[in-house]
Amino acid sequence: MPIAIMVDWYGPFADIDTAREKIIDYGLEEGLYLAIGKRKGEHKRRLQYVGISQDIKNRIDPKKHHRLKFITRDLRLWIGELASHAVAGRPRFRQAVAHSLTVELAEWATAYFLALPLNKKSATTHRLDQWSL
């Protein structure tokens, strides 16, 4: 059964401190984050990585997150909050959102379909049929 996941994206934020301020202002906790920028030897800014966290504010720290440190120039961060999820074509009717599974599926789909270079392992090791939908 197909499902639809809608993500509200906030950004781009030019630095981590600004992104953290907005995360606090918006009251975000669990969600996605998308990193754009240049790695060593790259000449064009591009999508690099998508991740999930139950505490985004503390997760987007290059000192704590080993993949963000590979983006050496022109970093831009987007923060994603799940707006809804449901069976495709059906309205959500203000039901509680079970974020954990939905956030994981949103991360996997973003990494897989955009072929993000710093997500190679997670995009290829997860198989969509492993989740009970």
Per residue in 1-60, pLDDT (tens digit) is 577 788 999 999 998 889 999 999 999 988 999 999 999 999 999 999 999 988 999 888
What is the domain extent for residue 89?
3-130
| Tokens coding 38 | 């240049």
Q: What percent of the chain has pLDDT over 70?
A: 77
**Of residues 102, 123, 125, the one with CA closest to residue 47:** 123
The strand ranges marked E within the chain are 3-13, 31-39, 46-53, 71-87
Strand partners, 86: 4
Residue 126 half-sphere exposure toward CB, CA atoms < 13 A: 18
Q: Whole-number mean pLDDT of the chain?
A: 81
pLDDT at 132: 44
The more confidently predicted of residues 124 and 66 is 66
Q: What b/e string do you get for 15-32 counting C-beta neighbours within 10 Å, with b at 16 or more?
A: ebeebbebbeeeebebbb
**Count: domains in the chain:** 1
pTM given for the model? 0.73
79 CB neighbour count, 10 Å cutoff? 24
Q: What percent of the chain has pLDDT over 90?
A: 36
**Contact, 45 vs 74, CB < 8 A?**
yes
- Whether the per-residue pLDDT at 77 is higher than 80: the answer is yes
